[in-house]
Amino acid sequence: MNKVAIIGVGHTKFGKIEEKGLMDLLCEASLAAIDDSNTNDKIFDTVYVGAMSPESYNHISGVASALVDKLSLIPAAADDIKNGPASGGSAIKAGFQAIASGMSDLVLVVGGEKMTHITTPGYITSNVATLTHPEAERPHGVSLPSFAGLLTRAYLEKYNAKLDWISDIAIKNHKNGALNANAHFQRSISDFMKSAIQKGKGTWKTIYEFLEDDKTNPIIADPLRLFHICPISDGAAALVLCNAEKINQYCDTPIMISGIGQATDTHIIFEREDITTLKALRLCSEQAYKMAKKTPEDIDVAELHDAFEILEAVQSEDIGFFKKGEGAKAAHEGLTEIGGKIPINPSGGLKARGHPLGATGVAQVVELVWQLRGEAGKRQVDGAETGITCNFGGFGNNIISILTERM
Amino acid sequence: MNKVAIIGVGHTKFGKIEEKGLMDLLCEASLAAIDDSNTNDKIFDTVYVGAMSPESYNHISGVASALVDKLSLIPAAADDIKNGPASGGSAIKAGFQAIASGMSDLVLVVGGEKMTHITTPGYITSNVATLTHPEAERPHGVSLPSFAGLLTRAYLEKYNAKLDWISDIAIKNHKNGALNANAHFQRSISDFMKSAIQKGKGTWKTIYEFLEDDKTNPIIADPLRLFHICPISDGAAALVLCNAEKINQYCDTPIMISGIGQATDTHIIFEREDITTLKALRLCSEQAYKMAKKTPEDIDVAELHDAFEILEAVQSEDIGFFKKGEGAKAAHEGLTEIGGKIPINPSGGLKARGHPLGATGVAQVVELVWQLRGEAGKRQVDGAETGITCNFGGFGNNIISILTERM
């Protein structure tokens, strides 16, 4: 199996990017990654695009074919890879396998989504709900946020945890996002509160009081409120992958993809043994650790998929950092902050960096590359040498974990 | 690079399958392939699904994740692969790379589409038109059939060919389809004519007269008429791929995937040097021949992408069987019939087997497997040992060619 190195990364600003369309965002991230990799005049063998719903949101299909044309990378092979909100992670895996197999030496992987222009109420939620089971779940009106609400209630009860601890994850991620110039929200929740006070919307003694106020933080899927849930965002992120034997001409700071795992779980959530355990993550992270000959103790930094803040708590357990039921408490105790035992989502995560669906899995790996290169600026995890991601498809029925390390 | 064998194939009836949904069709083809491969009790590593528009046509996304659940193949990795009408071919390539890389040993590849339930006029044509260029082409009202009409006119004029020769391709493919129990149309065009005569719709001296009658064969995209264009179909096809070193336990008639190529061309068709040349097919078939150490002269049977009958003529040239401009004439002279110099589309092709978009690329390879195993019944190409496909994405801006041979 050929070894695979990341030799270039690109990342647009995430957020409400009114002036750019999906193809503009994909091109911007791609060109930044190509530039970063010093492969401007090289022939790319393959391009993979991870985008969940460009057909529905942007009336474009064959995005990868269109992108190779826009980037003048013809005749590179090009395919779109889909796995719901884990489309980015799946696109990276496709790129990894293209090189590992010997079929390609130089591959561009791009993830992106353009969503914020959609103003029809409920359009995106019901579009994303096409991931749920069409007979057992969807006809009953469940959506991904409602599952997250149910999971939160089950978790709090089973492990005697507090909703404030889930809020602590949002507080941490907004604090980290404030240090990330590409983040959708670059403000701490304290900043949001101060701004609300200045605008005369109310007065609160603590962040927790602010977060319990229905006016400033309404309930979306009981018990989850607005600040427990990631936003809808526009944005794209890109990687240049290269056969590790051929990197010397391009790059002296390669980051290796040394482990990749992917696993599925039941489509119907009710059929899982325990709703608070992500079996697919346990399996896929085990695959990634085994492939890289690492353990959870070796990991210096992680990017997890906090589409809902409860997910970061659960994932931090099933990926092996904390015992079952201790993830939320660990966040509350500061163990997952930058400088803590295992920093999670220094980028701000989906909560603050934003969540342009297909972009997220790629953006997670871009953040790891910056951290492992020591280029993460104010949010740098000191001496980070090994990182791992969790990119979450459906409601945990298809999860990908990618382990990266310095060469 | 690990070698990849096809050890099982499955294929539903193509056509208007009212009683089955997309997931039913995908399951039926998958189970047939698994059964054929003797891997019923085995652990699949990965499942790839090629389907162009299940989100739009069937309101399902994450089809691959849903399929592994339905087939009880959890926790197999699962991804959806998209490349327009070449999604099936791209899914096979993904499966090939999963095994060639050493990441997987046993992979299920399924292609399918469920389309005939859609009754909104123009819905499918405009959905497929999302493949065209969003600024240079689509706003001007072009669709894939209109491009095929323009290509036909250009070809007939440039190479002094006759429209009847394009009709001859349809006549041949319907003749072949009549021998294929899975085909959408299992009737020759003579049969259609006889039936029209019996119903008192008219009298015609020859098939060509019948095919020039606006009543029975209306113009769709001048000069192309109904019988020059493939139907909209429901259906699915599946392959079980296996690391060639591990096939002995399952199968004694493996068919090897010995070459795969994929290449892109300009998104805007106007920008191509010559509209009558499919540069992407030239490149990707060269890749496949080179990888398999074969030449066009070695090929015994081919499955080409005759979504429009003109495409079979052009593809038969660019894949290396005939000189430029001689493909339609060769078909007219019978060289591409079963028993001819190079039999093309013994299955009936897209014209008669039907064209459930994502299924086509997989169905092409299923037909090659049957031909190479000597299991093609009345449409068997005698002694076929080597076959090749052309699966056509967009309007030729992303083409895949797969070369298969007996072990």
Reported as a single tens digit per residue, the pLDDT across B49-71 is: 999 999 999 999 999 999 999 99
Task: Determine if the peptide bond prior to B75 is cis (ω within 30°).
Answer: yes
Closest CA–CA distance from residue A94 to any residue of chain B (Å): 7
Q: How far apart are CA A53 and CA A112, in angstroms?
A: 10
Domain B4-119+232-246 in CATH 3.40.47.10? yes
Contact by Cβ (8 Å): A14, A88: no
Contact by Cβ (8 Å): B307, A103: no
* Closest residue to B74, CB basis, from A55, A101, A266: A266
Cα–chain-centroid distance for residue A402?
11
Going by C-beta distance under 8 Å and a sequence separation of 6 or more, which residues neighbour residue A49? A26, A63, A64, A67, A78, A79, A80, A81, A91, A110, A111, A112, A358
In sequence order, the β-bridge partners of residue B26 are none
> Exposed e or buried b for every residue in A33-55, given b needs 16+ CB within 10 A?
bbebbebeebebbbbbbbbbbbb
- Two tokens, residue A293: 């000959």
Residue A320, SS3 per DSSP: coil
**Contacts A397 to B, Cβ<8 Å:** 62, 65, 69
Of A108, A139, A129, A107, the residue nearest A52 (C-alpha)? A129
Q: Binning pLDDT at 50, 70 and 90, where does residue B84 land?
A: very high
Give residue B156's pLDDT: 98
Give residue B249's pLDDT: 84
% pLDDT > 70, chain B: 100
- Residue A230 dihedral angles phi and psi, to the nearest 5°: -70, 160
**Contacts A98 to B, Cβ<8 Å:** 97
Per the prediction, chain B carries an average pLDDT of: 96
Give residue A67's pLDDT: 97
Give residue B247's pLDDT: 93
Q: Is B131 on the interface with A (CB under 8 A)?
A: yes
Per the prediction, chain A carries an average pLDDT of: 96
Q: Where are the alpha helices (DSSP H) in B205-308?
A: 207-211, 279-292
Give residue A251's pLDDT: 85
Q: Is the pLDDT of residue B41 over 90?
A: no
Q: Is the pLDDT of residue A305 over 90?
A: yes
First to last CA, chain B: 17
Contact by Cβ (8 Å): B73, A397: no
DSSP letter, residue B344: B
Check the CA dihedral B90-B95-B96-B97 and report its sign. Answer: positive
Q: Is the pLDDT of residue B248 over 90?
A: no
B95-123 average pLDDT score? 96
pLDDT tens digits, residue range A168-201?
999 999 999 999 999 999 999 999 999 999 999 9
Q: Is the pLDDT of residue A112 over 90?
A: yes
Q: How far apart are CA A92 and CA A111, in angstroms?
A: 9
Give residue A41's pLDDT: 84
**Chosen from B46, B55, B97 to mutate, greatest number of chain A CBs within 10 A:** B97
Q: Calculate the alpha carbon distances from A143 to A132, A269, B291 in Å.
A: 7, 12, 47
Yes or no, beta carbons of A267 and B66 under 8 Å apart:
yes
Yes or no, beta carbons of B131 and A62 under 8 Å apart:
yes
- Name the amino acid, one letter, at A278: L
Q: Is ipTM over 0.95?
A: yes
Q: How far apart are CA A358 and CA B243, in angstroms?
A: 31
Q: How far apart are CA B319 and CA B389, in angstroms?
A: 9
Yes or no, beta carbons of B61 and A262 under 8 Å apart:
no
Q: Is A70 on the interface with B (CB under 8 A)?
A: yes
Q: To the nearest 10°, report the CA torsion of A364, A63, A73, B314.
A: 150
Alpha-carbon Rg of chain A, whole angstroms?
A: 20
- Two tokens, residue A146: 């409602």
Q: Is B184 on the interface with A (CB under 8 A)?
A: no
Contact by Cβ (8 Å): A130, B59: yes
Yes or no, beta carbons of A79 and B82 under 8 Å apart:
yes
In sequence order, the β-bridge partners of residue A393 are A398
Q: Is the pLDDT of residue A407 over 90?
A: no
Give residue A339's pLDDT: 97
Q: Is the pLDDT of residue B388 over 90?
A: yes
* Closest residue to B101, CB basis, from A1, A62, A263: A1
Q: Is A65 on the interface with B (CB under 8 A)?
A: yes
Residue with tokens 């992407």: B280
B222-229 average pLDDT score? 97
Yes or no, beta carbons of B267 and A66 under 8 Å apart:
yes
Q: Is A397 on the interface with B (CB under 8 A)?
A: yes
Contact by Cβ (8 Å): A230, A306: yes
- Residue B393 dihedral angles phi and psi, to the nearest 5°: -100, 150
Q: Is B285 on the interface with A (CB under 8 A)?
A: no
For the beta carbon of residue A119, count every other beta carbon within 10 angstroms.
6
Q: Calculate the alpha carbon distances from B379 to B182, B213, B309, B367, B374 in Å.
A: 12, 30, 20, 10, 10
Q: Where are the alpha helices (DSSP H) in A293-345?
A: 309-318, 327-332
Q: Is A103 on the interface with B (CB under 8 A)?
A: yes
A338-348 average pLDDT score? 98
Of B190, B162, B191, B159, the residue nearest B326 (C-alpha)? B159
Yes or no, beta carbons of B97 and A77 under 8 Å apart:
no
Q: Is the pLDDT of residue A318 over 90?
A: yes
Give residue B338's pLDDT: 98
Q: Is the pLDDT of residue A252 over 90?
A: no
- Name the amino acid, one letter, at B209: E
Pairing of strands B398-406, A106-113: unpaired
Give residue B72's pLDDT: 97
pLDDT tens digits, residue range B273-330?
999 999 999 999 999 999 999 999 999 999 999 999 999 999 999 999 999 999 999 9
Closest CA–CA distance from residue B368 to any residue of chain A (Å): 23
Q: How far apart are CA A318 and CA A298, in angstroms?
A: 16
Yes or no, beta carbons of A68 and B283 under 8 Å apart:
no
CA angle, corner A361, sides to A257 and A338, nearest 5? 80
Q: Binning pLDDT at 50, 70 and 90, where does residue B401 land?
A: very high
Give residue A303's pLDDT: 98
**Contacts A398 to B, Cβ<8 Å:** 62, 64-65, 77-78
Give residue A121's pLDDT: 83
Q: Calculate the alpha carbon distances from B45 to A284, A387, B53, B369 in Å.
A: 12, 25, 25, 22
For the beta carbon of residue A344, count every other beta carbon within 10 angstroms.
32
Give residue B380's pLDDT: 98
Q: How far apart are CA B38 and CA A366, in angstroms?
A: 42
Q: How far apart are CA B20 and CA B359, in angstroms?
A: 15
% pLDDT > 70, chain A: 100
Yes or no, beta carbons of A69 and B393 under 8 Å apart:
no
pLDDT tens digits, residue range A77-101?
999 999 999 999 999 999 999 999 9
Give residue B251's pLDDT: 85
Yes or no, beta carbons of A62 and B394 under 8 Å apart:
yes
Of A239, A296, A301, A305, the residue nearest A46 (C-alpha)? A239
* Burial of A221 (C-beta count, 10 Å sphere; 0-12/13-18/19+): buried
Q: Where are the alpha helices (DSSP H) in A38-162?
A: 54-58, 63-70, 87-100, 123-128, 144-159
pLDDT tens digits, residue range A22-66?
999 999 999 999 999 999 888 999 999 999 999 999 999 999 999
Q: Binning pLDDT at 50, 70 and 90, where does residue B100 land?
A: very high
Q: How far apart are CA A177 and CA A368, in angstroms?
A: 15
Contact by Cβ (8 Å): B305, B350: yes
Q: Between helices A144-159 and A309-318, what is the axis angle to 10°?
A: 60
Q: Is A295 on the interface with B (CB under 8 A)?
A: no
**Contacts B23 to A, Cβ<8 Å:** 134
Q: How far apart are CA A9 and CA B123, in angstroms?
A: 39
Q: Is the pLDDT of residue A126 over 90?
A: no
Pairing of strands B301-303, B386-389: parallel
Residue with tokens 């933080």: A217
In sequence order, the β-bridge partners of residue A238 are A10, A110
Q: Is A282 on the interface with B (CB under 8 A)?
A: no
- Two tokens, residue B25: 């069709």
Give residue B122's pLDDT: 85
